[in-house]
Amino acid sequence: MLKVKRHFLEIKLNEYKEKELNLPRSFEIVLDNKKDFNINKFFYKKVGADHYWRDRLVWSDKEWEKYVSNVNFETWVMKKNNKFVGFYEKEFHPSMKEVELINMGILKEYRGKKLGSLLLSHSIKKTFVIKPLRMWVHTCSLDHKYALQNCN
């Protein structure tokens, strides 16, 4: 039996210190304003294949559409020369004044280039623009080997 160790992490507004974000040339991180569930579905399958993401594999297109259409939900996409590199999903929980980083990942062919760290820094920077009390994420031993390290 595979043992999975979970980690729950948070950054509070009063602890946040903004970092300079220097993306490599020809890279950009853009908000999916169209809320195209196919982007989320693509990344969930591709990134998740290596990290045992299974729950949403059975979702219908209607379920995906409902998921991304939440007014408090955002998907940000990292691209290089307009080609997908990575993504993150986050949701603002207004009643608690907090943001949850739901999923984040880099496609296999772009891993090992510190892009995950840049993507995480971007998510934190964009989150604290709206001044939530905290941002939180959970990661586990099934995630990329640097996932926890990037959160520190």
From the number of C-beta atoms within 10 Å of its C-beta (0-12, 13-18, 19+), residue 116 rates as buried
pLDDT at 143: 52
Count up the domains in the chain and report the number: 1
pLDDT at 44: 96
Residue 19 forms part of a structural domain: no
pLDDT at 8: 65
pLDDT in tens, the chain (152 residues): 567 567 667 888 888 788 889 999 999 999 999 999 999 999 999 999 988 888 999 999 999 999 999 999 999 999 999 999 999 999 999 999 999 999 999 999 999 898 998 999 999 999 999 999 999 887 654 454 454 444 44
The model carries a pTM of: 0.87
Residue 77 forms part of a structural domain: yes
Residue 108 forms part of a structural domain: yes
Residue 18 forms part of a structural domain: no
Tokens of 97: 């004044």
Residue 45: which domain range? 6-13+25-150
Q: Which residues touch 137 (CB under 8 Å, ≥6 apart)?
A: 8, 9, 10, 100, 101, 104, 151
| CATH number of 129's domain | 3.40.630.30
Residue 1 forms part of a structural domain: no
Return the C-alpha torsion angle 138, 11, 18, 133, nearest 10: 120
Among residues 73, 83, 80, 92, which one has the least CA distance to residue 31?
73
- On the CB side of 61, CA atoms within 13 Å amount to 2
Read off the amino acid at residue 141. S
